[in-house]
Amino acid sequence: MDIFKGLNVSKDIFQKMEKKDANFPDQPKENDEGNKEYKWKLLDENYKDRDGKINKLASQMQYRLYEGDGKAVYLIGVQDNGFSIGVGTDELYQTLSIIDEASKIINCKIKNIRIYEKDDKYISTIRIIEDVKKEK
């Protein structure tokens, strides 16, 4: 995908990306219950305790998966109030990498990533599912 040209995007993540031409509308205010989680952006430089932050994100992801019967949706570039303002390429890349890392902690996987362009920024939906191959 052209927007990540020159960045070291993992092959696993890259294969799940799909750029959509549709406009991404604003969303309702984020609900504390349910399987949807809004994240404006997740950046490494914002974390003094990176491992602790990723573990917290993994715990939150597990809750969203529980609420969605094994399915969760992360909306990147969307604030908690539902406004879809988007993020830049580097911010989207870092956020996708952090979410991928958190998903591996709880043995779930990213099913697909859809990327929408809005006012020269990007909004992404990430569908996460429980890994049915988990050890029992």
Is 62 inside a domain boundary?
yes
- Tally Cβ neighbours within 10 Å of residue 20: 13
Residue-wise burial string across 70-106, b where 16 or more C-beta atoms lie within 10 A, e elsewhere: eebbbbbbbbeeeebebbeeebbbbbbbbbbebbeeb
Q: What is the pLDDT of residues 119-134, one digit of tens each?
A: 889 999 999 999 876 5
- Location of structure tokens 């990723």: 54
Is 136 inside a domain boundary?
no
Instruction: Fill in the amino acid letter for 96.
Output: L
Q: What is the pLDDT of residues 53-95, one digit of tens each?
A: 899 999 999 999 999 999 999 999 999 999 999 999 889 988 9
Q: Which domain holds residue 58?
A: 2-21+30-130
* Backbone torsion region of residue 35, taken as left when φ is above 0, otherwise alpha when ψ lies between -120 and 50, otherwise beta: alpha
Is 135 inside a domain boundary?
no
Is 80 inside a domain boundary?
yes
Q: State how many domains the chain has.
A: 1
Which residue in 19, 20, 1, 21 sits closest to 11, CA to CA?
1
